[in-house]
Amino acid sequence: MSKVAIFGYGTIGSGVVEVLNKKREYIEKQVGEEISVKYVLDLRDFPGDPIEKILVHDVQVILDDPEVDIVVEVMGGVHPAYEYVKSALLAGKSAVTSNKALVAACGPELLKIARERKLNFQFEASVGGGIPIIRPLEDALTAGDASGIYGILNGTTNYMLTKMFDDEMSYEDALAQAQALGYAERDPSADVEGFDACRKISILASVTSGKFVDYQEIPTRGIVGITQEDMSIADLLGYGIKLIGSFSRENGKNYAEVTPMLVPFDHALYPVKDVFNGILVDGDVNGAIMFYGSGAGKLPTAGAVVADIIDIARNAGRTIQAGYSEEKLELADLSARERAFYVRVAGGSEDQAQAFASSFGADSYTEIESGTYAFITAPMTRAAADKLCADAEGNINIIPVIG
C-alpha cells in the first residue's frame, strides 16, 4: 500500500484528496494496491472537514514517518515548498508537485536528489494544468527530438486577450473580469507580465532539451501594452494576438521567449480561446502535435497530480522520469533571429507610411485611420527592425509573428 502526505489543503490539495477518494477502487485496480492519504499538512484548521483527523501542522511528523512513501506539494511559492520537498526526498520519499515556481527555480537539484536515491520528483501539473505534456515530452516524443514548442500557457491572459478580440473589451475591463472569475493569480502581474508563462516554458524547454533552461534568462514580455486597437488591426490583417511561450532549436541554436505574437487564423493555436491552454510541439519525426485542454482549475490539476502519484506507486524503487541535468542550456540572442513582425505606426503622412513599410520589405500597408498604419514586415532580425523604428517618427508598436 502507498501512503501519501499532502502539503497544502488549498484548491488543488483538496482536489487531490477528492480524486483519490472518489477513484479509490479504480486506482487500486490500476496500481495493484491501495493508495491512501495518511496526512494533510496545513497551517490552518478545518473544523468539520473529513481531513480533520489526518491534519498535521508540523512537517516533521510526515518526514519522520517511514510509512509515507509519497509527498505531494501543492502549497505554491518557492519557500518553504523547497525545504519541505528536499527534506522529504532526503528522507527517502518520492515527491509530486503542481508548483511551477518550485520546479523552475529548484528542479535540477530536486531531480538530482531523486535520481541518486532511486526516487521520483514529478511535476506534470506544473505546466498546462490537466493537459498531459511533461510525460509525452519525456516518453512518446523523445524519438522525435522536438524542435519547437509554442504554447498558450497562461489561462488568465488568454481569457483577457479573447475578451479584447471577440468582445472588443478594453484591457482594464478584461483584467477586472478575469479577476472576478478567480482566474488571475493573487498578484496579476505574474499573469499579465508573462512571469507565469515564463516559468512554464522554462520547464518544457528543460524537459525537451535535457538541460536546465533558467527562467531568469528567458526574455519575457507580457500583454501589458497590448491595446484593443492592436487587436482590431490584427483582425483586419488576418491574425489574432496570443501570449506565446516558445522554445525552438534552429541551426544548432536554442531560442526561448515569452511574448505576445500575431497568430494567423489558420494556425493550430488560433482557436485556443478563453481560459484554455494549447501547446503545439513540432518534431522532426512526429510532425506537429497539438495538446489542448484546461490549463488550470481544481479537478484538472488534481487529476494530473494523481496521475503522477499512480506512476510513482506503479514504479516503486526506480526513477522513471529522466528529467534534466543541472547543466545549463545556452540560449541564443533572439534579436539576431530572422522572422516577420507586425508594425503599427501612429503619426505620419501616407507617403511616409509607404516609404516606412517599404524599408521593412513589406509589400503593402493598411491605413487603420487617418495617420495610423500597420503592416507585416518581411523576415528580418529584431535588431534591424528596432533600428528602423528608432530612425522613424511617430508612436510605433512592434510584435513578432509566430513561426
Q: Using CB under 6 A, which of the segments 89-97, 108-116, 153-161, 368-376 binds ligand HSE? A: 153-161
Can you read off the three cell numbers belonging to residue 179? 479577476
Alpha-carbon distance of 99 to 247, in angstroms, equals 20
Among 124, 191, 193, 308, binds ligand HSE (CB under 6 A): 191
d(CA 161, CA 155): 10
In 91-170, alpha helices (H): 100-116, 134-138, 155-166
Question: How many residues lie near ligand HSE (CB under 6 A)?
Answer: 10
Cell of residue 126, nine digits = 506544473
Catalytic residue among 100, 200, 242, 298: 200
* Residue whose CB is less far from ligand HSE, 94 or 157: 157
**Interface with ligand HSE by CB under 6 A: which range of 23-31, 101-109, 151-159, 161-169?**
151-159
- Residue 151 or 240: the one with the smaller Cβ distance to ligand HSE is 151
Show the cell assigned to 21. 477518494
183 binds ligand HSE (CB under 6 A): yes
Q: Which of 154, 162, 208, 248 binds ligand HSE (CB under 6 A)?
A: 154
Q: What share of the chain is helix, strand, coil (3-state, %, to 5)?
A: 40, 25, 35
Question: With respect to ligand HSE, which residue has the nearer C-beta, 74 or 89?
Answer: 74
CB of 151 to ligand HSE, least distance (A): 11
Out of 109, 185, 235, 386, the only residue in the binding site for ligand HSE (CB under 6 A) is 185
Does 125 engage in binding with ligand HSE (CB under 6 A)? no
b (16+ CB within 10 A) / e for 351-372: ebbeebbeebebeebeebeebb
DSSP class of residue 402 equals: P
- Say whether residue 69 binds ligand HSE (CB under 6 A): no
Interface with ligand HSE by CB under 6 A: which range of 67-75, 112-120, 152-160, 252-260?
152-160
Block residue for cell numbers 515548498 = 81
Q: What's the full length of the chain, in residues?
A: 403
Cell representation of residue 160: 483577457
Nearest one of 380, 397, 390 to 260, comparing CA atoms: 397
User: In angstroms, what CA-CA distances link 393 with 99, 356, 371, 396, 399?
Assistant: 45, 10, 12, 8, 18
341 forms beta bridges with 400
CB of 73 to ligand HSE, least distance (A): 15
| Residue 155 lies near ligand HSE (rule: CB under 6 A) | yes
What minimum distance in Å lies between the beta carbon of 4 and ligand HSE?
22
CB distance 389 to 343 below 8 Å: yes
Question: What is the C-alpha to C-alpha distance for residues 195 and 189, in angstroms, rounded to an integer?
Answer: 8
Q: Does 222 bind ligand HSE (CB under 6 A)?
A: no
CB of 225 to ligand HSE, least distance (A): 19
Smallest gap from Cβ 74 to ligand HSE, in A, equals 12
Between 42 and 191, CB nearer to ligand HSE: 191
Contact 343, 375 (CB under 8 A): yes
In angstroms, give the least distance from the CB of 196 to ligand HSE.
Answer: 5
Task: Please say if 100 is a catalytic residue.
Answer: no
Give me the 277-316 binding string for ligand HSE, x by CB under 6 A, dash otherwise: ------------------xx--------------------
Lateral strand order in the sheet of 366-369: 366-369, 372-376, 341-346, 395-400
Residues of this chain that bind ligand HSE (CB under 6 A): 129, 154-156, 183, 185, 191, 196, 295-296
Residues labelled catalytic: 200
